[in-house]
A and B are shown apart, each in its own frame.
Chain A
């Protein structure tokens, strides 16, 4: 098969590229898919796990699995939802593993609700003070920190909807939930986030 140039690759849809990649195992096609999705996925994973290094590792693992398991993709699903599902599952698994380690090492005696973030040993955060809200960079950091305090089942949906701006249908496909469940969880997550950021959004 003739090699496709960058322009031709850019014109193709994600689904066409992955089907082409399944047939030819071409590294150029694979690189095109990586180029298209590396930044949005990195943003999603980073917002979800809160660590740049960990997010990079998960992103690499996501694309590695795309390379290894390319034949598992079927045209039934959109490529974007498929790759987001892989990334989300890896991120959740990694987060659970980290929480388990922390529970066994530090909080072996404390009972904790599943999925709830560990906050007992965190240092008191004084960045919620209104006098330092002016700086938008700090505000973003505060929102990011607050986001990490929301339960992962809500956090994932808020990121996908309010940050990545995916549709409810796409989110339902990625998470395997019903659209009604997705909407209600997003609302609960937002409410929780508002509660955490009440000092910033205080009228």
Chain B
């Protein structure tokens, strides 16, 4: 398409039939303005504008928060409600006094450890017969000349352990020989007895 077409198009656009406003347009407009003025004077318009401005869905969360806050405050102060400018107080909740109940506390049981006692061990001194000439307790018998060797007479007695030298028992060869003979005499009998048992 060339410039001639553009010029034709622009000319046609300019020559498009004009669309005029309808004849009763001004009359309708004045009616609307009168209605607006009457609403404005009655306050209805301001109320409608307030509703349009503030009752918007975007304010719903904020409105909900405020409503909840008011409800909380009202609930907290509900014992002082003013009805028809007369303060009516709702009875306060009276606390019921109850006997004090023993509180059983489940405390951890202590492990009772028996105290240490001093065990006194009484030492009974027993006289041991260790043979002739031998005596452990020199305290009782240190004066006994027969059982005490002269070396132990002045032995200092203490509670501390004392090293005691025990001499070997005295061997009487005669008696030992006799006992040995007796044993040899009974030797066959022992065997016999043993063989019979078999």
Q: Using a CB–CB distance below 8 Å, which chain A residues touch chain B?
A: 27, 31, 34-35, 38-39, 41-43, 46-47, 52, 55-56, 59-60, 63-64, 67-68, 137, 139-140, 143-144, 158, 162-163, 165, 190, 193-194, 197-198, 201, 203
Which B1-26 residues have a C-beta within 8 angstroms of A?
Answer: 1-2, 4-6, 8-10, 12-22, 25-26
- Inter-subunit contact B1/A198 (CB<8 Å): yes
Would A60 and B33 be within 8 Å (CB), given that A139-B12, A190-B9 are in contact? no
- Interface bracket on B: 20 to 34
Contact yes or no, A197 B14, CB < 8 A: no
Residue of A nearest to B8 (CB): A201
- Cα–Cα, bound, A163→B25 (Å): 22
Contact B25 A43 (CB under 8 A): no
A193 contacts across to B, CB distance below 8 A? 9
Using Cβ atoms and an 8 Å threshold, which residues of chain A touch B22? 56
> Contacts A43-B19, A67-B33, A162-B10 given; 10 further ones with Cβ under 8 A?
A27-B30, A38-B25, A42-B19, A43-B20, A59-B25, A60-B28, A163-B14, A197-B9, A198-B1, A201-B1
Q: Contact: A203 with B14, CB < 8 Å?
A: no
Partner-A contacts on B (CB < 8 A) = 1-2, 4-6, 8-10, 12-22, 25-26, 28-30, 32-33, 36
Across-interface contacts of B13 in A (CB, < 8 A): 143, 158, 162-163
Q: Is there contact, CB below 8 Å, between B2 and A143? A: no
> A53 vs B117: C-alpha distance in the bound complex, in angstroms?
117
26 contacts between A and B (CB under 8 A): A31-B26, A34-B26, A38-B20, A38-B25, A39-B18, A39-B20, A41-B21, A42-B21, A43-B19, A43-B20, A59-B21, A60-B28, A64-B32, A64-B36, A140-B12, A140-B16, A143-B13, A158-B13, A162-B13, A190-B10, A193-B9, A194-B1, A201-B8, A201-B9, A203-B1, A203-B5
Using Cβ atoms and an 8 Å threshold, which residues of chain A touch B4? 203
Contacts of A67 in B (CB 8 A): 33, 36
Which residue in chain B gives the minimum CB-CB distance to A195?
B1
* Alpha-carbon distance A1/B121, docked complex (angstroms): 135
Residue of A nearest to B26 (CB): A34
Return B10 CB to nearest CB of chain A, in Å: 6
Q: Which of A35, A60, A198 has the most CB of B within 10 A?
A: A60
Chain B residue numbers with a CB within 8 Å of A46 are 19
Measured in the bound complex, the distance between the Cα atoms of B12 and A158 in whole Å is 12
Task: Pick from B5, B15, B17: contact of A201, CB below 8 A.
Answer: B5
